[in-house]
Amino acid sequence: MPEGQIVGLAGESGCGKTTLGNALALIANPPLYVIGGTMEIDGEVIDMTTLAKDSNHVHRPYRGATVSLLPQGAMNAISPTLKIKDLVHDVMAAHDKSVTKAEAMDRATDRLKMLSMPVRVLDSYAHQLSGGMKQRMVTVISTLLDPKLLIADEPTSALDVSSQKQLIEMLLAMVDMKIMRGVIFITHDLPVLSMVTDRLAIMYAGKIVENGRTEDLVHNARHPYTSALLSAVLDPTLETRTKHVLGIPGSPPNLGNPPTGCRFHPRCAFAMAECGTKEPPVLLEGNHEVACWWAEKNPDTTVPMEVTLA
């Protein structure tokens, strides 16, 4: 993951975005287990498995300080009986026992001033803040320890449009200020993603099907699912307004029993014989990765967006 960039992770509901986010944030909790995988940040390798008994113990110091989570729906993310400033102190004390209340307050105050947010929110309970303010406050807390990687899990979904804009501007400002070195932005809201992110990964049924620079992906989609997802977005330009909106037929598969071969083939307009039997190869085209049989057969071709489905 390139430094100082925002990587988007998109896909339908229930495709495993949040699960992946939780695994990356090292908070996979039974019954969810991370079976394997490592994460390398600045040369430091973290074993992500949670099968071992002491994994919780091993992972705890990294949480919040190295990788941090910005959760979906900040509404309930703060304990209702806790003042924001107490949470701030608890977070800092969790990583450095010697931090005093005053030091924690100072740091939070500085951070809030940096982001031109009102300082008085520190003295409130979560329920006293508006939805947008709460989400921004949670963002500040998540990044308080300057985590190297921030996993933003649908931070904008529960907000109204103006709060969304404020939050995104704040995130961008934080990246500019180098508060965190990289962000993984999880959402199903493609317009937000294409606006914010540098790179984009598209997920379907628990797997990443396409991954590349945002521009490439939007203008040169190589996976039929990406293209279907993009075509489902309304774009108020004259060109697209005259077109028919195409949905994606069917619904995401049951992950307990996924389809054989390419997991998208039952809903894919370009499905071929091998799609149903063999897992598609991962093609690397410059900086652009795609896992698709159709893409292999049709190199350097953008998936046509408007296709009349038979």
Partner 1 sequence: MSTIPQAALTEEVIEPPVPSQTPAPGKNKPAWMSLNFGPRMIVSLAIIITIALLAFLGPLIYPYGPGEKIGSLYDEPTAQHLLGTDNFGHDVISVLMFSTRNSLINGLMAGTLALLIGVTIGILAGYVGGWVEEALMGFTNIVVAIPNIIILILISMALQKTDIGFFKGIGGLAFVIGITAWPWTARAVRAQASSVATREHIDIAKLSGARTPSILVRDVLPYLASYVVMAWVLQLASAILAESTLSMLGLGPSGVDSLGMQLHWALAFQAVATGSWWAFLPPTIVLTLISFSLLYLQASLDEVFNPRLRRGKKKDLAKAAARRAKAARALAEQNTKVEVLS
Partner 2 sequence: MGLRRYLARKTLWYLGALVAAVMLNFLLPRLIPGNPVDVIVSQLGQGGLSSEAQQRIYEDFTREFGLDKPMWQQFLTYVENIFRGDLGKSFAFYPTPVKSLIGQALPYTLALQIPAIFFGWIIGNVLGAIAAYKGGAWDKSVFTTSLLFSSAPYYCLSIILLYVFAVVLGIFPVGGAYSLGTTPTATFEFFADASQYYWLPFLSLLLINIGGQAVGMRSMAIYELGSDYVNYSRSLGIGDRKMTTYIFRNAMLPQITGLALSIGAMVGGALITELVFSYPGMGFLLFGAISSSDYSMIQAVTLIITTAVLVANYLVEVLYGFIDPRIRAAKSGEK
User: Which residues 22-51 are close enough to bind partner 2 by CB under 8 A?
Assistant: 22, 25-27, 29
> If you ran DSSP here, which 8-state letter would residue 83 be given?
B
Compute the distance between CA of residue 240 and CA of residue 222 in angstroms, rounded to an integer.
20
Q: Would you count residue 128 as binding partner 2 (CB under 8 A)?
A: yes
Tokens of 14: 């229930």
Of the listed pieces 115-123, 156-164, 213-221, 291-299, which binds partner 2 according to CB under 8 A? 115-123
The footprint of partner 2 on this chain (CB under 8 A) covers a number of residues equal to: 40
The least distance separating partner 1 from the CB of residue 246, rounded to whole angstroms, comes to 27
Is the Cβ–Cβ distance between 179 and 143 less than 8 Å?
A: yes
Rule CB under 8 A: choose which of 32, 35, 52, 82 binds partner 2: 82
Q: How far is the CB of 226 from partner 1 (least distance, A)?
A: 15
- Cβ of residue 107: shortest distance to partner 2, in angstroms? 14
Cβ proximity to partner 1, 7 vs 140, nearer residue: 7
Segment (H or E) for 5: strand 5-10
Chosen from partner 2, partner 1, none, partner binding at 294 (C-beta under 5 to 8 Å by type): none
261-284 per-residue burial string, b: 16 or more CB within 10 A, e: under 16: bbbbbebbbbbeeebeeeebeebe
Task: Find the part of the chain contacting partner 2 (CB under 8 A) among 39-47, 62-70, 163-171, 281-289.
Answer: 62-70
* 44-47 vs 38-41, strand pairing mode: antiparallel
- Residue 210, helix vs strand vs coil: strand
Residues whose CB is less than 8 angstroms from the CB of residue 94 and which lie 6 or more positions away in sequence, other chains included:
60, 64
Structure-token pair, residue 232: 């489902």
User: How is residue 304 annotated by DSSP?
Assistant: P
The least distance separating partner 1 from the CB of residue 76, rounded to whole angstroms, comes to 8
Query: Under the criterion CB under 8 A, does residue 120 sit at the interface with partner 2?
Result: yes
The single residue among 64, 132, 155, 252 that binds partner 2, judged by CB under 8 A, is 64
Secondary element (H or E) of residue 213? strand 207-213
Question: Is 142 among the residues that bind partner 2 (CB under 8 A)?
Answer: yes
Q: Please identify, using beta-carbon distances, which residue of 89 and 223 lies nearer to partner 2.
A: 89
Q: Decide whether 46 or 283 has the Cβ nearer to partner 2.
A: 46
Amino acid present at 164: Q
Among 2, 61, 191, 249, binds partner 2 (CB under 8 A): 61
Non-local CB neighbours of 29 within 8 Å, separated by 6+ positions: 22
Residues near partner 2 (CB under 8 A) = 22, 25-27, 29, 56, 60-65, 68-69, 71, 73, 75-82, 87, 90-91, 94-95, 120-121, 123-125, 127-129, 138, 141-142
